[in-house]
């Protein structure tokens, strides 16, 4: 199977996908809101945000100072385009898999246009190999 166009390896890991999906539903989101919504630690979320920011998918703004410092995050246009492309690629994968299943959830069989499946022939006995008297007696005892 080939990877559909738009599939984004950077967004695909579940934590990043959850972050980007959450941000796609809003204009700006506060760090605590993202952290709490996704049940992540501060450090785990920071790491994912940094990775996505480095790729140009996010804009991060730090406002205020001291104890009132506030971190806000939003998807960039590039990030939104990448997310939408990734979602479309995932849908193509799911639809392709669904097209391989018939009514009642049974897998469809190969069609006559598919190339035949080849199985390896059983290994041939070496022409100089002959059963020993012990092996012949053992075979007769089993029968």
Model confidence over 36-60: pLDDT tens digits? 999 999 999 999 999 999 999 999 9
Give CB contacts under 8 A, 24+ apart, made by 57-66: 57/10, 57/11, 57/20, 57/82, 57/83, 58/23
Model confidence over 11-26: pLDDT tens digits? 999 999 999 999 999 9
């Amino acid at each position: 199977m080939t990877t559909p166009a738009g599939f984004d390896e950077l967004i695909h890991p579940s934590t990043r996908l959850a972050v980007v999906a959450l941000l796609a539903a809003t204009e700006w989101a506060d760090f605590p809101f993202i952290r709490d919504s996704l049940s992540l630690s501060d450090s785990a979320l920071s790491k994912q945000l940094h990775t996505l920011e480095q790729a140009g998918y996010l804009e991060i703004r730090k406002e205020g100072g001291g104890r009132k410092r506030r971190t806000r995050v939003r998807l960039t246009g590039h990030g939104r385009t990448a997310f939408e492309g990734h979602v479309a690629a995932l849908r193509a994968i799911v639809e392709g898999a669904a097209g391989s299943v018939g009514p009642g959830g049974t897998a469809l069989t190969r069609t006559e246009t598919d190339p035949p499946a080849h199985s390896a022939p059983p290994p041939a006995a070496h022409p100089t190999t002959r059963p020993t008297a012990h092996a012949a007696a053992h075979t007769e005892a089993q029968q």
